Structures are given as C-alpha cells and as structure tokens.
Chains A and B, each alone.
Chain A
C-alpha cells in the first residue's frame, strides 16, 4: 500500500533538513527522502557555518526555531566573530564544526521532531495529475503520496564530478547523482541551466608542520550561534594560516591545460567570489600569494580542510601545489579536490514562497535554485517548508520581506533577478543593512515565527523572557543624564549643556556598553547580548529612521498586487527586454516589479492599469 504524507522533502542536506523540520513544526506530516539515512545532515564541503552575511542567515533561521545554529553550536570547535571591530550590523558569527557531532545533532533533532519520518530511497520521479503534484515514485518501485513535494537536491541533479580531465556522474564523492529526476524536470519545461562548484583536497593533519605556522585561536568569550545554546559544549581547537607562493602559482600555471575548467570540459558557470585556485592564479596573475586557512574537520578526525584552494586539477598537481606551501612540505592528501557541475532551475519561476508558479504543490530550495552555501540552503529550506505547510493547511503564505530579513533579501533577489552564477549572501545585498543585524534576528523574526506556528514552546518561552528583560533595560536607558555626569564616569562626550536619556547619549560613539555599565552599574543584571543589542539599536537609530520613508514606500508598493495572468507583451510602450524580464520573474506585486532592472515609473503605472483592467 502507498504511504501518505502531507509533504515530501527530497534531499537530506541543509535545505532538506530545515524544510522537513519547519513543515513538521507547523503540524504537517512529513517524509524526508534521502539516498542514505546516514548522509542526512552531512556537511559536504567546508565544515563551517556562518560568516559575513551568512551568519545573519543562520541567526534568522534560528530565530524561526530552525536546526542549523544549534547543531553547529553542539559541534563547534572554533568560534570567530568576523568584522568584530565594525558596527554590529556587519558582524558575522562563524563556527567551525566537528562533522560527526554536527550530523549527530541534526539526526537527534530530526528524530525528536514529531510528524517527521526519514524514508531511505532514491526519488525517481514526481507523480503528477496534470500540473498538480500528487506524490513521488521511488526508484525501487515504492510510491509516496503527498500534496506537496519540496526538492532540496543540492548539486545532485544531473551532477558530474571532475577530477582533472576525467569525469564521472555523481553529486558528492562516493554518491550517485539524481539523473532521472533531472530529466523529468527538463521534460516538464522547467528552465534548467548548469552551474559549477568545487572543493579543495583534504589534508592529513598529522603530516602538517603546525609549529611552523601562524595560529588562529578560537574567539574568547562565550557567544554562540543560537541563544538557546547555554554554553559551548565542545573543546576549542585552533586553526592555522599558510599562503600560496610564486612556486605554487608556477606549478598551477604549468598545468592549467590539465584543469577541466581551462580545457573546456566544464560548461557550468562558477562563482566569482569562491573561485578555484587555478582561477585566482589565472585572473589575478599579479598577486604573489593567496591566504589558505587550515581548518580541522573534527575532534577525533585528523582531516584538515585547506580553505582557499578549491581545485579540479589532477591529483599529482594538487599534491605538488600544496607541498609548495609553508608548513605543508610533507603533507599527505587524504581526498583530492574536485569540481562538480550540476543542474539548477532558474529561480524566477518561483513565488516568494519558493513554490513553482505553474506546478501546483512543487517547491524548490537550496542549490537547485542556483545558490551556494549551507546557510543560503538552510534559509530557503525554512521558507519552503513553512510555506508548503501553510499551503497544505489552507493557511496564508508566510512572507519574508527585504526590509526585515536577509532571508527576505535572498528570496526576493532569486525570484526577481534570477542568478548568473551561484548566489551567495553578502551584507552588501541588503539595502536596509543597518536594521538587519545578526544580533537582533530574534527581535526581527521570532514574533513572526511564533504567530505562524514555526516556533516551539521552548523558543516562545525563551523569547518572552528575553523581551521582558529588554523592556526592563529600556526603562533604565530612559533615565536622563548630563554630559558632566558622563564625563565624571570617564566618558568624554562634548558638553552642550543638555540632559539626555542614556538611549540618546548612545548616538555618540564615545558611549559604549562598558561606559553604560560604569554610568549605571545595575545594568550588569542584564545579559550581555541584550545589552549589546540595545546599544546598537540606539546607536544607529537616526540612520534607521532616515530609511523609514524608503521602507514605507517599499511596503506600500508591495501591497499593490499585479494580476497573475497579465500579458506583458500586450502592454504598449514596454521594450522587448522589459517584457522578457517581466515574463521570467512574473512579479506578484508592484513593489517587486519596481525592483526589476530597467523599469521606469511610467512603465510601472502602465503595468498596474493593464493588470487592473484585466482583473475587472
């Protein structure tokens, strides 16, 4: 007999796990379908979570009660706050994780999640009734029924691995590709293109001369990715830094023709910001070296991940190249680096819920949408899982907006602009960056998560306690002080004779968290993260206020819906290029249409009126 679920999630990577867990938290019955149970929750590339822009995504997923931040904390063996010297809006928490502990945590969280079952098997084909999803056929003949399917297939669709000039079908080393499903998606008329990504060789840590290298210690302090994590449970390890040099570059240059990238074997487009080492040497020939971070993969694992030298050169060249670097003279490669080419779907066919526009019940999340990175994948999993569950239950979609989250920025970028290279989050992509901080993710998103049912009881209780403390803190900050009083406490602000609340004095950079504590020692009762959040809120308040008008305009244009059946070609005055972009993205609102490149205000008004005329 066929098994029935509300939602099927294909793929057990970061997108799939978050999607399945989010949907189950919302009350849907969910099956997570994966080639191998053992591979669910694997970190297939870099054993780290977070970073600049990416740390924001992780905290946001966590604020919606997601899995990844807590798993990374449980497995965290090296913490680093990037941009620590800059404003909190661009600080990026990053954690290196022990692969095994990470996977174990994900398994534990999934196993503890009611309504969620892991089904081992290969998803062979979508079951359809016309353009409506009814379930999934597995390769072994079993059938699963469901109203919605979320594809989180990562690099596995039509995947091809390249080791030097030799290539083989496969999505990850030692695992098969999802070729049948890839063919079906193309046959269904989904716009599919090729992208490329790569991974560096893994090194044997026992053959590295650590003493000869500059060490990078884990951050002092006790901050964690998730505020639900009470303390860092794992011992902290150090990383080391080495560099490529002229000799390494000479070796690479001499062997470029043996790289599939340069021999023309790879047609997919790779990312500009995560180039292979052969790309770096080729494009930036004037540099005499590139930094390489040596990151341990685990506590009882001697594998080391050399961050910065992703490559698809043949193994002998890789070996010569790594051995040309300081500290690596006698290093042994455990697993050579390789490039992966894979299918992705043009994300402009998606709604902001990540549902495919004209295939009812199909959702796409993660690398299949042309993104790169665990964090981007996890965030999309959350969006697709939550929205599929809402749809199945007949509830309104759960929107993520550009002005309230990096998740919203990413979904908007993907569904409106599409991708020309693997999409990675950057803080520069968020125009409202000053208000979207990693340290205020809870304040921004947890209320929404609570309202939609995404947040569990424990998270709700944590959040309510936190908000109560924050409100108490604000009462303290409302106390007025004079400049003289601040100067007495050693805070050298200018004196204009005015008394101000402490919250307003925080606009002056001279007043810091430490200064606050010396002004009002009773503030020490508040946990440091809450104090820091308040400091940053008040510090940037004038700039955030200035953006209000921009935000309000964005919101108001987002309230104006464009008919789904509008025929752009029939609107006089639109250029062919505009029509093409509008047709690919099918913006749901006037606000979205406005962000499509090249649209003039008059064109927008014409679209609006045409849309209304059709709707009436």
Chain B
C-alpha cells in the first residue's frame, strides 16, 4: 500500500470545544467539514475573509450569544485539510454551552467523536507520522478510558434504562421485520403486530419523560444562578457574600461590573455557579453595553435568577425567579420579596441559601434518578423524533424509523445491530418452511 494517505470524502461537519473546560478567559470552539462556513454564516450572519481574525456577534435566532473573535481557514490549507472555523468566545460556561447548543441545532453538524479532528487531519495528510506517533499513544489511552467508562456505565441507571428500551425496541422491530420478511408464512402473516400504536406510544412517552428530567451537567457543573438587577443594586456584594470570597469588584459607581463573573460555589452541600452580571441599563459605553447584552443572554440560560430590582421589572420566568430585597440594613420601604438580605451584615443570607437549596432540590437530578448528559440527551431526543415516525401507515417507513431509533440509542450507550434484532425475531416466531 502506498504511504501517501488517500483523500477521504467526508461529508458531515463536526464541532467541539477545543480548549480546556470552562470557565476560562477564552474558549475556542472549532468546526471542521464542508458545513463549517454555512454554520458560521448562520451564527454570525457573515463570512469574514479567510485567515483574518474578525469580531462578530453570534446569534441564535434573535438572541445574542456572544461577541466573539471568529476565524476561517478554508480547506485544504487548514489544520484538518477541510474547511475549518474557529470561534474564540468569552470563556464562561453559559456562553460556551449556548454556542455549542446553537451549533448542534444546525443541520449537518454533529459533536465530534474523541480524536476525530486528528483523524481527519491525518487522513487528509495534514499531520505527519511523527505527530501521529504521539497521537497513537494518546488514542490508546483514550480507548482504554472509553472502555473503562463504558464498563462503569454498564452498571449505571441510564444503561439499564436504555438497555430496557432497546430490548423493547428490538422486540417491536423483530415483530415488524417478521411481518415483512416472513409474511408468506402462516405463522406471522401480513398484518401489523398487535397493539403496535400503543407499544410505540408507551416507549415514546417514557423517552419524553426522561428528556424532561434535569440534565446531568447540572449535577457536575452546578445550577446556574444569575444575580441580576439594575445598576448598583448590590449584586456584586451579594455574590461575594454568598461565595464567601472576593469574586467581584465592588464600587459605588454604577456600571462597575462590565462582564459576567462566574463563581462556582457549594451552598448547603449543593453545587451552584453564581453569575454576577452587569446592571441592566442602556449604556453609551461600548464595553459596558456588551456586558449588559451578555447579562441578558445569560438570563436566558439561567436555572435560577436572583432579582434584586423592582418585582414588576423582573425578567420573564416567574417560577425560576427569587425576588430579593438587598441592602435591607438600610432604611427604606419594604417591597414584595421572597428574601430580604444585607450583604453587609449577613442578615437574611441563611434564608437565601435555604431558598436556593429548596429550589435546587427540584432542579437537580436525585441520586437514584437517571440523568442525561448533552450527548446522551441529543441521542435520546433524536431517537424520540424518529420513534414518532414509527406509527407511519407504511410498514417500510415504520421499520426505517425503528432502525434509526436503534442507531440513536446505540449512540447513547454502545452498539447493537441487526443480529440482535434477528435473535429476537427467531426466538419469538416459529419461522421457516
């Protein structure tokens, strides 16, 4: 075989966070594949010149996600040999999560598998053997880690749940395939399997229920609590008091906090990320304006909001909002609030922690509950979308839908294949002339 690698014809586009895990000063999200440019256009509304760092507003529909530095490297002169796009984001978790979510919703884009960027680079002749040598060791370690994590997962609640679904799915598929492949025999017949719609519907509603449950990231990363309110309401004082350390600069000058500040904090034994935002106001200062914009964006992805302003002006989402009256040590009229606190004296802080903990109970997955991470969530959501087509009046379409559900569930926990379905089929039906 020739030493020169063949050019692979890859048609899908992958993306991943390619810097360390947030929060960090800057987070780099990278895309590679023929759809990279159109994804950039979808988010940034424009395509900058190749290899020129350009500022761009990234939006998902109308909502602004971040003002980021974007770079294009058209293939084949790129790291992977394909069209590559890099988004240099502000490195907060909320921003990165929102951008990754936006990319996942672009058709033709999917999260990269471990080592996939490098594999593409290698296939397209963009890295040499010496580089590959080192990579092989890394991949070996990755393989080991995957196997270990797969083993660990095998005993997990999610695996059990998905395994049970898959078993039912294989049963449904087997019954349908029997009606297709053995319809010439008296044993099976041409008709739809009995209770088809009910069985498919029951499986679908269990999947929806799981999707509605709290995501695993909340347990790992913490609930996102955004502290918001008008300028100089005392947001930064409050975050410092809750975090028990100096995370935000405090000054009496309104507009001191210009960017998001994130403080991972454990309260009452539960994980939170406290997020301080710029006071919400119109500003002529360009930098502050960006901060305000980002504050609004982070409100959209918050699990809980501590609102320090007038109750009537609170952002939408009443059930996730805790109304806080700050600076209660100062004289003034009492207003409608769940908690009254003073960051200065510590008064009411315990009540606030209690209120946060009570909300957290309902938002965090319980220990015995199954929690999905983003990758698994996408797989289950795709599986569900396909399952909904399995009630099509055409048996072939239904069977195709079930095949895709199987592929998706396999992506969530591991592999199965046609053979397993056939095992089920031959085990249940007496087939063969």
Contacts and interface: CB of A to CB of B under 8 A. Distances in A.
Interface in A564-616: 564, 571-575, 597-598, 600-606, 608-610, 612-613, 615-616
Interface stretch (B39-47, B92-100, B183-191, B353-361): B183-191
B122 A608 contact: yes
Contacts of B143: 572-574, 600, 602-603, 606
Interface string B100-118: 0000000010000111101
B281 interface: no
B283 interface: no
A287 B430 contact: yes
B184 A51 contact: yes
Contacts of A431: 403, 418
Interface string B132-148: 11011101111110110
A139 interface: no
Given A291-B185, A307-B433, A600 B147 contact: yes
A363 B268 CA distance: 72
A600 B146 CA distance: 8
Contacts of A290: 186-187, 430
B430 A283 contact: yes
A597 B3 CA distance: 28
A82 interface: yes
A44 to B, nearest CB: 16
B119 interface: yes
B180 A86 contact: yes
Interface residues of B, number: 65
Contacts of B116: 601, 605
Nearest to A427: B181
Nearest to B186: A291
Interface stretch (B4-12, B206-214, B285-293, B329-337): B4-12
Interface residues of A, number: 72
Interface in B176-222: 177, 180-187, 190
Interface string A207-248: 000000000000000000000000000000000010100000
A605 B141 CA distance: 12
A290 B432 CA distance: 10
Quick one: which of B12, B418, B422 has the most chain A CB within 10 A?
B418
A561 B396 CA distance: 34
B297 interface: no
Contact of B417 (A307, A564, A597, A603): A597
A427 B180 contact: yes
A271 B433 CA distance: 11
A31 interface: no
A549 interface: yes
B184 A284 contact: no
A612 B418 contact: no
Contacts of A561: 1, 6
Interface of A: 51-53, 80, 82-83, 85-87, 89-90, 92, 94, 241, 243, 271-275, 280, 283-284, 287, 290-291, 293, 307-308, 417, 426-429, 431, 433-434, 509, 540, 543, 549, 552-553, 555-557, 559-561, 563-564, 571-575, 597-598, 600-606, 608-610, 612-613, 615-616
16 contacts: A51-B184, A52-B180, A52-B183, A87-B396, A92-B184, A274-B432, A290-B186, A426-B422, A549-B11, A552-B9, A552-B11, A553-B11, A609-B122, A609-B132, A609-B139, A612-B3
